[in-house]
Structure formats: structure tokens, C-alpha cells
Structure 1
Amino acid sequence: MQKKIVRSVSSIFGFVFLIVVCFLAFVVLSSRISGGEPTILGYQVKAVLSGSMEPTFQTGSIISIKLGTDHSTYQEGDILTFRIEDKIVTHRIVDVKQENGQAWYKTKGDNNDAQDLWTVSSQDVVGKYTGFTIPYAGFALNFANSKAGSALLLIIPGILLLISSLRSILSAKKELEVNNA
């Protein structure tokens, strides 16, 4: 009975591990092929690299953002991901200004004492935070995007396939021996 439970738990962990590896491989390979961020049905995942938005989301988390086409419709309180000085930042809107038909957003990290020094134009907005977060998964995503991580994402599935093939061969051999005896 105990052996059966251990085998079941082991199978579940193996399945979850395989799903995570496949997801990371998809993210890394699609971003390498497209040359940009992977997008699924108008959503992107981003890794949180700083604590400026804690406790809304923790450093090392993955967040989902909805890519938008009309970046002038956001309002105070929305959390935006935007480009500023060749960086991607995710902060909350604290003020909205309209100037010459264009929206400008004043932002602030939830964990920061002061508003950001910059004002974000609607053209610099990438998308809006959807409320979906996976804590600490961003550490794995960042590693997977590194050269060593990319190499492992190619090697690990190959090793798993090899192990699975060997198990199948050994199982078939054992079954053949039992049938021949």
C-alpha cells in the first residue's frame, strides 16, 4: 500500500515537472524564434525583477499582462507595464493627464514612497496587469532565458525521453522473459 502511494506521488511530481519544463521550453523557444516576448491570445507573461510593487506581487513572480491597442483608456488605479529608458516597468497609475489628444500617466510602485520621476506616454504602454500572478516562477523563467537555462531546456527533455525509452525496453524485456519461462 505504501509503495503504491509513493509511486502515485512520484508520478504526480513527474507530471508537474514535465508540464513546467514544457511551458518554460515553449516560452524560451517562442521568444527566441519571434525575437520578442511570447504572446498567447493577446497576453504576455513578465517576470517581476524588483520589489517596487510588493505586496501586490512579489519579486520573482510571473505576472500576466493584457496587450492593449487603445492605450488612452487606462485610468487611475490600473497597473500598467510600459517602456521607459529601454527598460520594462510595471507600476500603478496615480494620475492621468490628457494633452493634445494623448494620454499621459503618472505612475508609482506600490512599495515606493514617491511617485516615479517620469511621466509615461500612452505610446510607451505595453499592456495592463490582469491580476494573474504565479509567485516565484519568475526566477525559473529568468534562468530559462539564460544560455545555461536554454541548454538545459534542450537537454532535460532529451534525457527524460531516453529514460522513458529505456524503461519501456526493460519492461518489454522483462515481460518477454516471463512469457518465455
Structure 2
Amino acid sequence: MKIMWRWMKKTLSFLSVLLIVILAVFVIAVKASGGEPTVFNHQIKTVLSGSMEPAFQTGSIIAIELTKDAREYSKGDVITFKDKNKNLVTHRVVEAKRVKQEAVYKTKGDNNDGPDLDPVLSKNVVGEYTGFTIPYAGYVLNYASSKTGSALLMFVPGMLVFLYAVISIRHSIIEFKNEQETAPPNQ
């Protein structure tokens, strides 16, 4: 039983430190990239509306692969693009055509009644949805991007690492004292 308890403590300690490191790296990556970290030509985006439900929920994060050639998308692809107000929108292509050497897409949110009013030019396409989504994690990402959130997400892991170090040192001192008290006296 004692061996199992030690094994559980070590596993929990390892997982805690791993979580702390992941949180710290996540916050640093978000801050260093201005809120949009790119890894292997992929970015994480937060879903802000329900226009694509049930494909992905409001508050989810999705991964998009940044576009190399925006002219290659076809009907059924889910693309992220900048609308006329420069807002990012992720909708499904319902029609793709060429107009004077440029691809033009008609898009529609899965949960919307009709297609978007404005066509999407290929130069405004940012990327394509990869099929990867984590429901409701976008709320955490948005919070981490704020000043308060990033400060808190850096402070909490730092404090946890400090407390873990204090507890480990205290535990080591107690073990050392116990060994000294039970050791036979030197002759």
C-alpha cells in the first residue's frame, strides 16, 4: 500500500509539473504571437458565434491550416476568411467559381438560413478548417489573451512551482531528520 501511495504521489507530481509547464508555454506562445500562435502552418482560432453549429460550438477552438493557394477550395470546404469589415469568419463554401483569374466563393454558415451576402475573394481567404476542434476551450484562450488572464495564468503556475519546491524541501528535511534520529550512533 505504501509503495502504491508513493507511486501515485510521484505520478501526480509529474502530471502537475507537466500541466504547469504546458500552461506557461501556452501563455508565452499566445503573448509572443499576438494571440495567434502558428505551429506547422496551423493556427488556433476561437469560435465567436453559433453560425457553424453543430459542426463546432460557440466558444470552441478550431485549427485552421493557413492557405497557400486560395484558388483550390471547392464546394463543401470550410474556410476562414476576412469579411468586408476585416473580421475573421469561418463558413462553408457553397459555390466556387472563377472571375477574371480570381477564385470567388459563396459561403454559408451551417446554422444560417441563407448564404452570406458578400462573395469571398481568394485573396481574403486565411485558411481552411482542419477538422480539429475542442469545445469551449476558446473561452480559456480569449481569457489568456487578456492582460488579467495572462498575468494570472503566469502567476498561478509560478506560484504552484514555488509551493511544490517548498513542500519538496520540507519533506526532504523531515526525512533527513528521521534518518538521523534512527541511525545508530557513530563509535
Q: Judging changes above 3 Å, is the alpha-carbon distance between structure 1 residues 28 and 157 closer, same or farther for their aligned structure 2 residues?
A: closer
User: For the aligned residues, what is the CA RMSD?
Assistant: 2.4
Matched, 1:97 2:101: no
Q: AA paired with 2:76?
A: G
**1:34: Cα distance to partner?**
3.5
* Identity across the alignment (%): 48
Match of 2:69 in 1: 70
Does structure 1 conserve the Cα–Cα contact (< 8 Å) formed by 2:91 and 2:110?
Answer: yes
**1:105: Cα distance to partner?**
0.6
Match of 1:30 in 2: 29
Q: Judging changes above 3 Å, is the alpha-carbon distance between structure 1 residues 13 and 130 closer, same or farther for their aligned structure 2 residues?
A: farther
Matched, 1:48 2:19: no
Does structure 1 conserve the Cα–Cα contact (< 8 Å) formed by 2:17 and 2:161?
Answer: no
Partners in 2 of 1:148 and 1:32 — Cα distance? 12
Partners in 2 of 1:177 and 1:37 — Cα distance? 51
Q: Judging changes above 3 Å, is the alpha-carbon distance between structure 1 residues 169 and 136 closer, same or farther for their aligned structure 2 residues?
A: same
Q: Judging changes above 3 Å, is the alpha-carbon distance between structure 1 residues 101 and 67 closer, same or farther for their aligned structure 2 residues?
A: same
Partners in 1 of 2:17 and 2:112 — Cα distance? 36
TM-score, with structure 2 as normaliser: 0.85
Q: AA paired with 2:112?
A: N
Match of 2:166 in 1: 166
> How many residues in Structure 1 have an aligned counterpart in Structure 2?
177
Secondary structure of the corresponding residue to residue 96 of structure 2: strand
Q: Judging changes above 3 Å, is the alpha-carbon distance between structure 1 residues 45 and 178 closer, same or farther for their aligned structure 2 residues?
A: same
Q: AA paired with 2:92?
A: R
Does structure 1 conserve the Cα–Cα contact (< 8 Å) formed by 2:23 and 2:157?
Answer: no
Secondary structure of the corresponding residue to residue 115 of structure 1: coil
Q: Judging changes above 3 Å, is the alpha-carbon distance between structure 1 residues 69 and 11 closer, same or farther for their aligned structure 2 residues?
A: same
Does structure 2 conserve the Cα–Cα contact (< 8 Å) formed by 1:24 and 1:144?
Answer: no
Q: Judging changes above 3 Å, is the alpha-carbon distance between structure 1 residues 17 and 179 closer, same or farther for their aligned structure 2 residues?
A: closer
Does structure 1 conserve the Cα–Cα contact (< 8 Å) formed by 2:24 and 2:157?
Answer: no
Match of 2:177 in 1: 177
**1:132: Cα distance to partner?**
0.6
CA deviation profile, 1:51-73 (whole Å, cap 9, x unmatched) = 00000001111101011211100
TM-score, with structure 1 as normaliser: 0.87
**1:29: Cα distance to partner?**
2.5
Secondary structure of the corresponding residue to residue 64 of structure 2: strand
Match of 2:184 in 1: none
For structure 1, the residue ranges without an aligned partner over 5 or more in a row are none
Does structure 2 conserve the Cα–Cα contact (< 8 Å) formed by 1:24 and 1:141?
Answer: no
Q: AA paired with 1:143?
A: Y
**1:88: Cα distance to partner?**
0.6
